[in-house]
Amino acid sequence: MATLGLNTSGYISSAGIVHKGKVVAGACEERFSRIKRDRSFPANAVAFCLRSANVSKEHLDAVAVGWNPVINLKKDFSLLQDANRLRGIHLTYNINALYGVLGEWGEDERCMVNAFGVQCHFVDHHLAHAASACLLSPFEHCAFATVDAFGEEDSMTMGVFDGARFQTMEHIKFPHSPGSFYSYITEFLGFKRDSDEYKVMALGAYAEDSLSRLFYERLRPLLNFGTKDGRFFFQVDLRFFDYYMFHRPYDFGALEGVLGIKRRTKDAPLKDEHFAIASALQRCFEELVGCFLRHTKEKTGIEKVALAGGCFMNSVYNGRLCTTENIFKDVYIPPFPDDSGVAIGSALFVDFERFGVRGEAMFQNFIGPSITKEEALQVLKKACLEFESPQCIEEEVASLVADGFIVGHAYKAMEFGQRALGNRSIFADPRVKDIRAILNRQVKGREWFRPYGVSVLEDHVSEVFQCDQGFKAPFMEKVVFVRQSWASKIKGCLHNDGSVRVHTVKEDENPRLFRILEAFYKKTGVPLLINTSFNLSQMPIVATASDAIACFFTSGMDALVLDDFLLVKPHVQRKRGR
């Protein structure tokens, strides 16, 4: 028996399957449809989850949805009347769509909560976020906080998971929303809202201090937050933000007035004031979320916290929280704090309520579609490609990267989240000063201002970066600063301010990548590699062996590892003298 979880309300649809507390399989629809951030019903992801978990529809005993449309139908949330009506459709949409995926209705077809003999549970969106963090954390009990753009009506919640129940203690309602505030300014700066916030986060590192301060002083008064009478409060000055008008383009006139500059259009050049606004935005965001988390700690009196919601995709803040702010002794952020994770969170929540058991803490997320050795071999042979089967593939990858080559690596089951953690990754040498430009030109086609993340041996992370021993970032979810003594050695991965997004690797959690990193460390004395997702610009991460081969041959990647097989392009072969 198993619980199928769905996310069909967010900016990327997904499905996951949970069996007695353990996440068995999960994937975003984009990995199958090959449409970046696909929002359509995750039919392919559902089919994959059932197949992967070896669960037939007869053995599926619950469906969980990470959105509760009943809240929107019950309450008159006047600012959102149109949106509420549309969200009510979710009540039937998921079951109707599942009908198309799973086959025929059962005898009780008129009871929509009991189609196929399967109960459908609608889980409050923020509760689904909280469950994705608490139930996958290593904590028996903990505080939790969720922060995003909006759920049915909430944008922030905090409370306690006591090991048996979730108790939400406080919440902030939309339209007062940290996520929507960030997204609005993302669009103001000429980027895509609900999508490019991470790019704006990266822009801030180029800001000049005094200009950043100037814009901070203009932006900060538009937010009012703090604590009063033992409760957290937060209000956005809605005279300057019309993001709650979902069905019309934003009118930036009022914000242009207060900031003193016109909004940037998509292709306009990036200027000093744009970097400064990005930096001021990040500072406001960090103060707001920091204040909320300090309140969460004080109110609950608990030293351990589980965090989720799209705002905890903000790796710059996550890093600050765990290196300098240190509000909590221990922090867990799941690999999918964004909405894709509510498929998993809602299924975990329903499963936990039914069985009361929890699986192990999650420190790796290779639960997606897999490439088997047989599939890899079949695809290579069909395409008449020459390949090698090295004795030690990890050594070979490390040698190629150390020689300056860009190596794609597609191995077994893929990651669920948005960050590649080794199984669908592209590796490059962080010692090469201009590697960012080379990667951009040959493979990724990214904007010049965006740095690349690194995978680092966990035992060495505090030697290279400004963090304590024991620092963990198993999902590349935190940005830290390089130590001065290392700055000149790994110039290729440093952002403008000396920061790097890191992924810490332990042998028992990620043995394959651990061995590659160890081999690279033995050759070079550097315990880290640039690790970027295996995809081209505007494309989802590759899923199948065929996807990987297509990506390899349509980019300037030098070598490709498929399972344990190695393909190198002719110029690499010549240089290696083989």
- Interface region with Fe ion, contact rule CB under 5 A, candidates 73-81, 144-152, 213-221, 481-489: 144-152
The single-letter DSSP state of residue 340 is G
**Binding-site string for Fe ion from residue 248 to residue 277, where x marks contact by CB under 5 A and - marks none:** ------------------------------
- Interface region with Fe ion, contact rule CB under 5 A, candidates 34-42, 335-343, 408-416, 566-574: 335-343
Query: Minimum CB separation from Fe ion for residue 310, in Å?
Result: 5
Nearer to Fe ion, 148 or 351 (CB): 148
The reply on whether position 351 binds Fe ion by CB under 5 A is no
- Residue 152: closest CA among 126, 129, 176: 126
- Interface region with Fe ion, contact rule CB under 5 A, candidates 57-65, 146-154, 226-234, 350-358: 146-154
Query: Minimum CB separation from Fe ion for residue 361, in Å?
Result: 22
Task: Yes or no: say if 31 and 540 are a contact pair by the CB < 8 Å rule.
Answer: yes
The Cα angle at residue 336 between residues 333 and 337, in degrees rounded to 5: 55
Q: How far apart are CA 415 and CA 364, in angstroms?
A: 8
Interacting residues of 124 by C-beta distance below 8 A, sequence separation 6+ = 68, 71, 151, 152, 154
Which of 29, 124, 148, 547 is close enough to bind Fe ion by CB under 5 A?
A: 148
**Binding-site string for Fe ion from residue 101 to residue 140, where x marks contact by CB under 5 A and - marks none:** ----------------------------------------
Query: Minimum CB separation from Fe ion for residue 150, in Å?
Result: 7
Query: Minimum CB separation from Fe ion for residue 428, in Å?
Result: 33
Query: Minimum CB separation from Fe ion for residue 129, in Å?
Result: 6
Nearer to Fe ion, 23 or 130 (CB): 130
Binding to Fe ion (CB under 5 A): which residues in 198-227? Answer: none
Task: Yes or no: say if 150 and 158 are a contact pair by the CB < 8 Å rule.
Answer: no
Strand partners, 26: 16
Q: What would you report as the CA-atom Rg of the chain, rounded to the nearest whole angstrom?
A: 23
Query: Minimum CB separation from Fe ion for residue 486, in Å?
Result: 36
- For 353, the 3-state DSSP assignment is helix
The 3 state secondary structure assigned to 34-88 is: CCCCCCCCCHHHHHHHHHHHCCCHHHEEEEEECCCHHHHHHCCCHHHHHHHHHHH
- Interface region with Fe ion, contact rule CB under 5 A, candidates 166-174, 331-339, 391-399, 464-472: 331-339
Query: Minimum CB separation from Fe ion for residue 223, in Å?
Result: 20
Which of 339, 351, 394, 547 is close enough to bind Fe ion by CB under 5 A?
A: 339
Query: Minimum CB separation from Fe ion for residue 313, in Å?
Result: 10
Q: Count CA within 13 A, CB hemisphere, residue 229.
A: 2
Residue that the structure tokens 């999918």 belong to: 336
Neighbours of 109 (CB within 10 A): 13
- Which residues of this chain interact with Fe ion, rule CB under 5 A? 148, 339
